[in-house]
Structure 1
């Protein structure tokens, strides 16, 4: 996770120099939260923010720093603030200024119609959830953390990206509607990995689920440096991989396009996800939702899933909580904050997209071993039960959002039945039935002679109706066309003493 301590992020820059890949200049543009900036001013009073912006959650500053200042700042955040810091690294001052004031321009806003958060895939999701296995999640964690490191600037980091591409390609099982590609970042060798399940009739709208594939340890990373990153963030990638496996093997075909992304270079300022989110915005790709899984396998708190509320979207966060209530009712959901730039969701939020971060624990109770050689599968108990919870939430999120779109097919017809007895001249009234566009059908069976009347808007009488069926028995039938949502009423009239069974069928609103 990027914001564990800014100290680790600073160390990443020193490490890049150690492997011969340092930037041409020792100066780096960063955007940084207010409390961390105050520590920087104590350490280096001459370092003044080039620009600042209050975003409603924190005051964020654009600063150019050198590597030594970053190191001192990191230590101050750790010792003085005793919390995680966070920043976003930028290739230029211009890029930093753009990140400082995220906004949705008019052209992008016209594309971003918020999705319908109605939960209506109860017939689809539970059978898929039953196919998910913690052992699969655990094996992926083991396989990823077996790489010496997955640092963005090492050859082994490149190998880890290639491994993930092959893993997802194998899981796609040759489906023609699934592709697995790598996203090239020009500034460093590690590539991001993207598995895409193409949407059917609403493929221009995109659902994104991501985690970061890189790893880091404090003090610098070279080719031989051990940085297993089992929880940070092999666990998030593994949780996503199990969701992808089940969707691919089940034959599920979404209406919207679904992308699973393993981001490069998260640990050095969210660099991979920033570039990918910017690409989607620049190309007017209509991303309707983003979920980030960064650390999922260390249960350090009493509750199961913590939804982080800063630099995320409140409405989508509520949707996630509702998904858990519906499909994972035994889990306990809580809320917390992680500060500025703590993981890749912040990159999407900065571009105006709706993003959420469900996390493994309360922020100060997360895995104490991350960014060290001890971030191993063994230190999460050699099991992935906690991470499986996030796999299941991710699958529910993907299917609920992925199954919707313009012109969503209506649900099944609703059928209601009634029965009773009538004396001669007696009537029974039913409704209003809240009918949607379609055909409203009513029919009766029974004994004696009962007549049937149907009317839209107001109750029918034996002389005022839209449809009448008055044969010589109790077997009657009426159908009317309903052009738009409205009320429909039914009357059963006893032409003689009779018993009846009434059935009405219609499209509900």
Structure 2
């Protein structure tokens, strides 16, 4: 998950950071960034924005900057032209008109199981006995190992295909599981999360239990329930575990660009990022983005959430920006799910203390988010199952 930008009340520092490096053609170049410090009400971190150097020009930049900095990518495809709105005959608009509660779907989403969520998250965070993982940082050797483990899990859950999508040298791959649609195989519904993580400066551990082990465990849970109930889909259903999110949405940008170039029809893409932290004393919440989203999609999924997870308080967050933004920027309908209305509250955000076994990490919160996301994609992908 990326932090909020200056539009959320942060203060811009007029002093630019200048970082020399050797560019892709061996030429010495100065990269200039503007720094932004978030207000004291937010977790402490600094954002780097407005780089005059594209990420491809600075392949090692992420290794020399402190881990609590963010690099917002320079989009090489030119000005962002997101989807302006959905036509009346779009499946999202039509679903909004006909949406109603289904007891059979409620029975499916109620199968979301805390024990298996905990098993998967603690394995990813390295807290489970026998887990080999110390870090899931995108450029670490273990990023590939995590991707290969996820590949094996998705294969065991019966995906029609599982691909390791390598998109950039030194980065772990995306993991893409597909269930081919039976009626509209050329229409795609995508659910995503990112399997990479970040830690504290000079600390080799990057467990990322909330950011975004919670989202990754959600993906595994959805796949598990598909297999357990022999679920089929009218539209092709894609589960995507991205890498490179923390360095600037690199993995999702590569997939979104590829799908756009191929002329792929994407009915909806949704992202789950940071789903498990609940600030002590607060109720279970599910939040949708205030920006970088398709309003019609967010409106539909708010209603889906209220139907199938009625105990959760549904609202809006200014926290951004996760992998759904890559699809939104490429003109695809997209939105995201987040753990809290309002700003980020997790005190271990982008910290080596982002573990499961700590105050505030709440599996009831994660279960609610998983139920809402699963109900959403099953509705839009036209899931078929025994009632």
Same fold (TM over 0.5): yes
- 1:240-319 equivalences in 2 (<5 Å): 240-300=219-279, 301-319=282-300
* SS in structure 2 of the partner of residue 295 of structure 1: coil
What does residue 446 of structure 1 align with?
none
What does residue 67 of structure 2 align with?
none
The one of 325, 337, 351 equivalent to 1:358 is 337
Tell me, yes or no, if structure 1 residue 77 matches structure 2 residue 37. Answer: yes
Tell me, yes or no, if structure 1 residue 337 matches structure 2 residue 318. Answer: yes
* SS in structure 1 of the partner of residue 276 of structure 2: coil
Q: Which has the higher contact order (CA 8 A, sep 6+)?
A: 2
Q: Is the 8 A contact 1:296 1:390 kept in 2?
A: yes
For structure 1, the residue ranges without an aligned partner over 5 or more in a row are 5-31, 48-63, 409-509
Q: Post-superposition shift, 1:326?
A: 1.5
Q: Is the 8 A contact 1:137 1:238 kept in 2?
A: yes
- 1:218-233 equivalences in 2 (<5 Å): 218-219=200-201, 225-233=204-212
What does residue 158 of structure 1 align with?
144
Relative to 1, partners in 2 of residues 1:119 and 1:159: Cα closer, same or farther, differing over 3 Å? same
What does residue 327 of structure 1 align with?
308
Q: Is the 8 A contact 2:110 2:371 kept in 1?
A: no
Q: Is the 8 A contact 1:151 1:216 kept in 2?
A: yes
* SS in structure 1 of the partner of residue 169 of structure 2: coil
The count of corresponding residues between Structure 1 and Structure 2 is 343
Tell me, yes or no, if structure 1 residue 133 matches structure 2 residue 93. Answer: no
Over the aligned positions, Cα root-mean-square deviation in angstroms equals 3.3
Relative to 1, partners in 2 of residues 1:273 and 1:131: Cα closer, same or farther, differing over 3 Å? same
Structure 2 length-normalised TM: 0.79
What does residue 424 of structure 1 align with?
none
For structure 2, the residue ranges without an aligned partner over 5 or more in a row are 20-28, 59-72, 127-132
What does residue 129 of structure 2 align with?
none
Relative to 1, partners in 2 of residues 1:226 and 1:354: Cα closer, same or farther, differing over 3 Å? same
* SS in structure 1 of the partner of residue 269 of structure 2: strand
What does residue 12 of structure 2 align with?
39
Q: Is the 8 A contact 1:33 1:86 kept in 2?
A: no
Q: Post-superposition shift, 1:283?
A: 0.6
1-structure distance, mates of 2:311, 2:83: 38
Q: Post-superposition shift, 1:186?
A: 2.8
Relative to 1, partners in 2 of residues 1:125 and 1:99: Cα closer, same or farther, differing over 3 Å? farther
1-structure distance, mates of 2:202, 2:6: 24
Q: Post-superposition shift, 1:284?
A: 0.7
* SS in structure 1 of the partner of residue 316 of structure 2: strand
Q: Post-superposition shift, 1:44?
A: 2.4
Relative to 1, partners in 2 of residues 1:319 and 1:45: Cα closer, same or farther, differing over 3 Å? same
Q: Post-superposition shift, 1:104?
A: 5.9
Q: Post-superposition shift, 1:274?
A: 0.7
Relative to 1, partners in 2 of residues 1:218 and 1:256: Cα closer, same or farther, differing over 3 Å? same
What does residue 194 of structure 1 align with?
176
Q: Post-superposition shift, 1:380?
A: 5.0
Q: Post-superposition shift, 1:33?
A: 6.0
Q: Post-superposition shift, 1:92?
A: 6.5
2-structure distance, mates of 1:250, 1:276: 29
Relative to 1, partners in 2 of residues 1:403 and 1:114: Cα closer, same or farther, differing over 3 Å? closer
What does residue 154 of structure 2 align with?
168
Q: Is the 8 A contact 2:136 2:142 kept in 1?
A: yes
* SS in structure 2 of the partner of residue 39 of structure 1: strand
Q: Post-superposition shift, 1:219?
A: 2.3
1:378-397 alpha-carbon deviations (Å, 9 max, x no partner) = 12567522111111112111
Structure 1 length-normalised TM: 0.61
The one of 325, 337, 348 equivalent to 1:346 is 325
1:42-89 alpha-carbon deviations (Å, 9 max, x no partner) = 112999xxxxxxxxxxxxxxxx973xx55x82xx41468957757696
- 1:113-152 equivalences in 2 (<5 Å): 113-115=90-92, 116-117=94-95, 118-120=98-100, 122-146=102-126, 147-152=133-138
> Which structure has the greater CA radius of gyration?
1
Q: Post-superposition shift, 1:167?
A: 1.4
Q: Post-superposition shift, 1:297?
A: 0.6
Relative to 1, partners in 2 of residues 1:303 and 1:143: Cα closer, same or farther, differing over 3 Å? closer
1:75-122 alpha-carbon deviations (Å, 9 max, x no partner) = x414689577576964369962535322469xxx99x94532232571
2-structure distance, mates of 1:80, 1:398: 37
